[in-house]
Amino acid sequence: MMLGRAILKWAHEQGHCGNQPLPTVTFTPKKKRVRPAFEIPEYRRLWRTMYRRINDAKDERIRRSRELLRDYVLVLANSGIRIGEANNLRIRDVIPFRDEKGRSNYRFIVRGKTGERDVILRSAVARRVDKLLAKRVGEDANNFLFAMPDGSRGHNADRSTECSAEASRNIEERLR
């Protein structure tokens, strides 16, 4: 838009437009698209399916991977953090505290597209984070929170796109 306006202005100054005045150009963006959220019954069905799949795992490696996915989804759904922020969350970024009602809870220090910010987890999920951190006692605080048992990050961009598409199809089929 800016480039087009600059070119027209230059052409006008050079006399290539004749005696005609410069056109007035405005930009009207399309309506902002908002991603739809899960409805409560859909989320419950997704949650039950994740638990069932954890119990149906054929070996320990698959079970751990599915437990990590469950924890990841639970934190995303109950904190408001973005996927990129969750992927970059480290153990040191998880700060325990007690809220004004005396409940134990966690504050996440996340870094994402809007910079660094504090995110408070819903207190109902604090017990799951307790369990997640209990499994990681003694590890380096710089390790990623959502990491596979071998310490690798829990995602691969190409593979996760494939898996997301497959998971979406599976969820759609189950919701019908």
- pLDDT score, position 52: 92
**Does 16 have pLDDT greater than 90?**
no
CA distance 136 to 123: 20
DSSP 8-state assignment for residue 39: P
Within a 13 Å sphere around the CA of 29, how many CA atoms are in the beta-carbon half?
Answer: 3
Burial 127-138 (b: 16+ CB within 10 A, else e): eebeebeeeeee
SS3 of residue 26 by DSSP: coil
Rg (CA), the chain: 24
One-letter amino acid identity for 10?
W
Taking the whole predicted model, whether its pTM rises above 0.85 is answered as no
Query: Has residue 98 got a pLDDT over 60?
Result: yes
Q: What gap in Å lies between CA 32 and CA 30, rounded to an integer?
A: 6
**How many Cα neighbours within 13 Å face the side chain of 104?**
8
pLDDT in tens, 33-92: 777 788 889 989 998 999 999 999 999 988 988 999 999 999 998 988 888 899 999 999
d(CA 52, CA 66): 10
